[in-house]
Structure 1
Amino acid sequence: MFGYINVNTCNLSEKEKNLYEAYYYGIVKELRSRIGIRQRIVFRSDMAFLNILLEGIYGTRTKKEKYNLLRFAPFKIVSKKVVYRGKITEYVAEMNIVLAYHNYLDDWRDERCICKKLFCDCLKKEYLKIVKKYPRQIKVIEKNLMQLSIYEKNGEDNIELVSQTVGEMVGEIFAWKEDQYYEELKMLGFYIGKLIYILDAYVDFEYDMKKKLYNPLTKIREDAGSKEDFESMCKIFMESLKQECSKIYVKLPIFMHNEIIENVLYSGIMYDLG
């Protein structure tokens, strides 16, 4: 994940903010119980949305717990947080570890930064356990990450083709179980995955051009002519993907947390772009 799947807090009530935070820190606590302080190099805020989405559909029994959140600057402060944890939290935390492992592995291969290698190594044992538990998801993730790497090394400029790899990967992660919700969740994840990949490329475009780095939007920028036309084309493209997400969302039997889920889908993901 890229850190773009967030809530727009301006449009949430205090009750909804507290609920979102309870799931957010539930994942943090789950990771902490599994890998200790390594959770600091693993946790991605995007995963809170997946937790809430799956809970809204499956309604699995979650435990209400307390979590002592430590802060170290300027003094050591302990704040008690109410958190929710359950089977879905476990799954989301495990997928979080998988994505972090591959992210650091990819960075090590590209940058040869020794700290990324160390991060990768310290997650490997936990990662191998998850491989055995979720072979379907891992197979799709590894296959598409490999294909994405090939596209990037070859300078592939077909944004549909490149973003599809991330879409398929995120889609398989969203599909927790192979049941009656499998296809819809997979397609929702597919379009969200494509959207956040293109959004990430859009946000990084100017930097990538200055540093002469790969960016899949290069051809679109060349074809657009002006910067304004390029921005308009990208935003229209991303908006169309958001609309596809909305079409699938209304088909899902979500009976809890609708307000938070809709907040993310309709105003959270692209909120920073204005």
Structure 2
Amino acid sequence: MFGYVMPYKSELKVREYDMFRAYYCGLCKTLGKEFNQIVRFGLNYDLTFLALLLSSIEEDKEVITKEGCIANPLKKKMIVNTNKSLTYASNISIILIYFKLLDDWKDEKSFKSLIGTIPFLLPLKKASKAYNNKALAIKKYLYKLSALEQNKCNKIDEVADVFAKLMEEISVPDYIEDQKTIRVLRWIGYNLGKWIYILDAFNDLEVDIKNKNYNPILLQYNFNNNEGIYNFKKKVSGPIEFSLTMSLESIAKSFEFLNINKNQGIIDNIIYMGTRHKMEEVLNKREDCKIEKSI
């Protein structure tokens, strides 16, 4: 479900892209320092964006060093040293990934997911202790999400609303006290969560049809095998795109009320271009003929 929030590289300056990568690698390094090396494989772009956004409203300048990494120890790259936004994002990442793996085990009986929780057990205790209210909120909303999915809820907005509230909750660390900033971050988080969930559901249509998985878009718009995936996606792409675009518009308007102290160009790129490019990429991707034949 994660991995959709990223910059549109073609429109980024080289130094801006390098800074985004420095945050990405900084989050990876922070996961390793705070917890263990295995959990670094749970790294994703969406939590990188959260760390970048939270850091951008802080006045302190990033401390950047050049280091090797576990993937390529011989090649040194720019790394943003651990700061409070990276620490927060790393802890939230641990909690999210653990409960998502656990949820996959409960819903799909995926032994791969169950085994995947093992490296997260001790990190989860540490993260839950440091951010107990966030851990409880994540658990609560994922439980609600699972219940809706098990009951085959046929309203995409109703299901997306739950994930949106989860993202709303984690978008504001406890150390932020300014009420205006809190309101803006929560609204950005809510709309980003709604956008991620709906886009992911659309992106998974072929796989969910093939594997007979739950997908609220299939239920709401009454998919049947006779019409085929191509015709179905053509039918639903209009309302889905409208909903996604409205979420992006809300994010953009809210973002204008934040006081950004650094990395404005990168965040502008992600909010105004990166998300839209990703949306268009998912909505307009070519159909897989093999899947079409298997329906």
Query: What corresponds to 1:244 in structure 2?
Result: 250
User: How far apart are the structure 2 equivalents of 1:38 and 1:268?
Assistant: 29
Letter in 2 for 1:15: R
> Once the 2 structures are TM-superposed, how far is the Cα of residue 139 of structure 1 from its aligned partner?
1.9
The 5 Å alignment of 1:254-269 reads: 254-269=260-275
Contact 1:54/1:88 (8 A) holds in 2? yes
User: How far apart are the structure 1 equivalents of 2:207 and 2:28?
Assistant: 31
User: How far apart are the structure 2 equivalents of 1:222 and 1:267?
Assistant: 32
> Once the 2 structures are TM-superposed, how far is the Cα of residue 169 of structure 1 from its aligned partner?
0.7
> Once the 2 structures are TM-superposed, how far is the Cα of residue 70 of structure 1 from its aligned partner?
3.8
The 5 Å alignment of 1:206-245 reads: 206-222=206-222, 227=232, 228-245=234-251
Distance change in 2, residues 1:119/1:84 (3 Å): same
- Structure 2 gaps of 5+ residues are 282-295
SS in structure 2 of the partner of residue 78 of structure 1? coil
Q: 1:126 aligns with which of 113, 123, 128?
A: 123
Distance change in 2, residues 1:253/1:172 (3 Å): same
User: How far apart are the structure 2 equivalents of 1:268 and 1:139?
Assistant: 31
User: How far apart are the structure 2 equivalents of 1:207 and 1:118?
Assistant: 23
> Once the 2 structures are TM-superposed, how far is the Cα of residue 217 of structure 1 from its aligned partner?
0.9
Q: Give the aligned length.
A: 269
CA deviation string 1:157-205 (max 9, x = no partner): 1112111111111111111135222111111100000000000001111
CA deviation string 1:102-149 (max 9, x = no partner): 121112222333332222122111111211211221221111100000
> Once the 2 structures are TM-superposed, how far is the Cα of residue 77 of structure 1 from its aligned partner?
5.8
- Structure 1 gaps of 5+ residues are none
Letter in 2 for 1:35: F
Q: For the aligned residues, what is the CA RMSD?
A: 1.9
Contact 2:39/2:120 (8 A) holds in 1? no
Query: What corresponds to 1:25 in structure 2?
Result: 25
> Once the 2 structures are TM-superposed, how far is the Cα of residue 61 of structure 1 from its aligned partner?
5.1
The 5 Å alignment of 1:140-151 reads: 140-151=137-148
Letter in 1 for 2:177: D
User: How far apart are the structure 2 equivalents of 1:59 and 1:88?
Assistant: 12
Contact 2:191/2:250 (8 A) holds in 1? yes
Q: Does 1:83 align with 2:89?
A: no
Letter in 1 for 2:79: V
CA deviation string 1:214-241 (max 9, x = no partner): 1011244339x95323111111110011
Q: 2:177 aligns with which of 176, 179, 198?
A: 179
Letter in 1 for 2:88: Y
> Once the 2 structures are TM-superposed, how far is the Cα of residue 242 of structure 1 from its aligned partner?
0.4
SS in structure 2 of the partner of residue 83 of structure 1? strand
Query: What corresponds to 2:159 in structure 1?
Result: 162
Contact 1:220/1:230 (8 A) holds in 2? no
Query: What corresponds to 1:203 in structure 2?
Result: 203
Letter in 2 for 1:248: S
Q: Which moved more, 1:32-41 or 1:183-192?
A: 32-41
Q: 1:114 aligns with which of 107, 111, 115?
A: 111
TM-score, reference length from structure 2: 0.85
> Once the 2 structures are TM-superposed, how far is the Cα of residue 153 of structure 1 from its aligned partner?
0.2
CA deviation string 1:49-94 (max 9, x = no partner): 11111111123454322321244xxxx7621112112111111111
SS in structure 1 of the partner of residue 259 of structure 2? coil
Letter in 2 for 1:105: L
Q: Does 1:63 align with 2:59?
A: no
TM-score, reference length from structure 1: 0.91
Letter in 2 for 1:79: K
